[in-house]
Structure 1
Amino acid sequence: MSGEGAVIARPRAQFHWQGLHVPFIAPWSDEQHLPITIVRRRGVGGTGIGYADELSHVDRRRDVLWARQAVARGSGTPFLAGVHPLRQRQAMSHMLCQVCGESTYGSAFRRWGERHLFVARAPKGRPLGEGEITTTPPICLPCAHESVGVCPHLRKGWTAALVERAQPWGVAGTRYDEKTLRTLPLPSTGLHMAQIGHLEERWTLAMRDAVTLHGVTSIDLGAVA
């Protein structure tokens, strides 16, 4: 991703819930999904889904339709296992830590040879590989140590790597049938994936940005501390 994330310096508010640090990308109960009406829409690249009351400069990014969800971080009860579409996208676009929301372009980034830290679930111990597709944003070292100790998903197994570059790949979200405009069943792996420029993008309501990881070096979190 671009280095524009380096200019984000204002500290972000941190929230805790029942002794746990609430991740920046986690949604809160007052951040409800907004009512929508999906319609068939023809654009420059062809036909796909759109909103009946669509505002292209708000609802689309790279001509892909994004899910609408209210923004009220810190209001209500956090859903620690969930992901807020907008904040996930911000974290990916600007290389923000998924937990504290601060830029990962810091002293550690420079110390690691201008590389970002990524931590992901790995129940079977499989490390992050070169060209890996992920929707999980980077993380700073203190938050990584915290997360592997308290996150239920990571307790089942995790892997960590330093990454030179996160290249935009596409989006993950809900796929709509081209004929009926009904949502298609979700795959066992989670959300539907749609690569940049592929037809599936036009029929996917995006909920996550997806990137490919390059210059990947698996590491031991204790060793980089």
Structure 2
Amino acid sequence: MSSATSAADRAGAAVTVPWVALWEGESRVEPLRRDPASGFLRYAQEEPEDRDEHGVLWMRHIGPQGQGRPLFSQTHSRRQRQCMVSSLCQICGERIEPEDGRLPWLLPAREYGSRPKLVHTTGTPPTCRSCWAPAVELCPHLRTEGAKTLSVGKVVHWGAAGLLHTPGERALRWTACGYEDSEPDVLKRLLAETRLVVLQDVREVPLTD
């Protein structure tokens, strides 16, 4: 699903299937190879966008966006990363322009918690203000459990979460790795699915003005 051309369209139609959501037609992933000597993960034919600026390999989905059923509980790894890195709205896919140097963010109430906080770590991408109200209204999860609408002063890119290969183990296990906290060899054994950021100078704001 491509991003809409106007705020009205984005707030109405695009929210039905968030831009970041994975579709059934693109749910297959590219097979991985493991370097027998180092245990590092790689694709047979790597593309520049397969790794981020820290050398971490990202899951590559196969198939076209918009084909089949939308899988609302899953996100497309590359689109999730694009939202985090380029400040794109996870609902409509449009770039979010900061307001007075601050970014709008919409989080499930359960993830954020019941108490206000100044710092929060998340894998949930930002959401533009135009998409706040329709997202809360149309998303069953947010409608049932509630949402927190936030204004964020600073975003720090902490790391990535995904499947980590440990030498001597056949299975991959879900792990979160910090870019600065993890050894380079560990990062090269990670197949990332989710970009993790730390939100700083967080303020709760009303859903609508």
> If the length of structure 2 is used for normalisation, what is the TM-score?
0.82
Q: Report the more deviating stretch, 31-40 or 61-70.
A: 31-40
Deviation at 1:72, TM superposition (A): 1.7
| Aligned partners of 1:171 and 1:201 also within 8 Å | no
Deviation at 1:71, TM superposition (A): 5.0
Matched residue type, 2:127: I
* Unpaired runs of at least 5, structure 1: 1-8, 187-191
Deviations 1:170-222 (A, max 9, x none): 001112222224212x4xxxxx2110030343332101111111121111213
1:171 aligns to 2:154 (yes or no) = no
CA distance in structure 2 between the partners assigned to 1:202 and 1:25 by the alignment: 25
Three-state SS of the structure 1 residue aligned to 2:105 is strand
Matched residue type, 1:141: R
1:38 aligns to 2:26 (yes or no) = no
* Unpaired runs of at least 5, structure 2: none
1:78 aligns to 2:78 (yes or no) = no
Question: 2:124 aligns to what?
Answer: 136
| Aligned partners of 1:39 and 1:181 also within 8 Å | no
Deviation at 1:70, TM superposition (A): 2.2
CA distance in structure 2 between the partners assigned to 1:97 and 1:128 by the alignment: 23
Deviation at 1:10, TM superposition (A): 9.1
| Aligned partners of 1:128 and 1:161 also within 8 Å | no
Deviations 1:66-105 (A, max 9, x none): 1110252222221122100011111111101100011111
CA distance in structure 2 between the partners assigned to 1:176 and 1:195 by the alignment: 16
Deviation at 1:41, TM superposition (A): 6.6
Question: 1:218 aligns to what?
Answer: 204
Q: Structure 1 pair 41/99, CA: closer, same or farther in 2 (3 Å)?
A: farther
| Aligned partners of 1:127 and 1:160 also within 8 Å | no
| Aligned partners of 2:57 and 2:192 also within 8 Å | yes
Matched residue type, 1:145: A
**Alignment of structure 1 residues 1-225 onto 2, 5 Å:** 11=5, 16=13, 21-40=16-35, 47-51=38-42, 53-55=44-46, 57-61=48-52, 62-70=54-62, 72-105=64-97, 109-110=98-99, 113-123=100-110, 125-127=113-115, 129-154=117-142, 155-184=144-173, 186=174, 192-197=175-180, 198-199=182-183, 200-222=186-208, 225=209
Q: Report the more deviating stretch, 131-140 or 118-127.
A: 118-127
Percent of aligned pairs with the same residue?
27
Three-state SS of the structure 2 residue aligned to 1:76 is coil
CA distance in structure 2 between the partners assigned to 1:195 and 1:60 by the alignment: 15
Pairwise CA RMSD: 2.8
Deviation at 1:54, TM superposition (A): 4.5
Matched residue type, 1:220: P
CA distance in structure 2 between the partners assigned to 1:128 and 1:66 by the alignment: 33
Matched residue type, 1:74: G
Number of residue-to-residue matches in the alignment: 198
Deviation at 1:131, TM superposition (A): 3.0
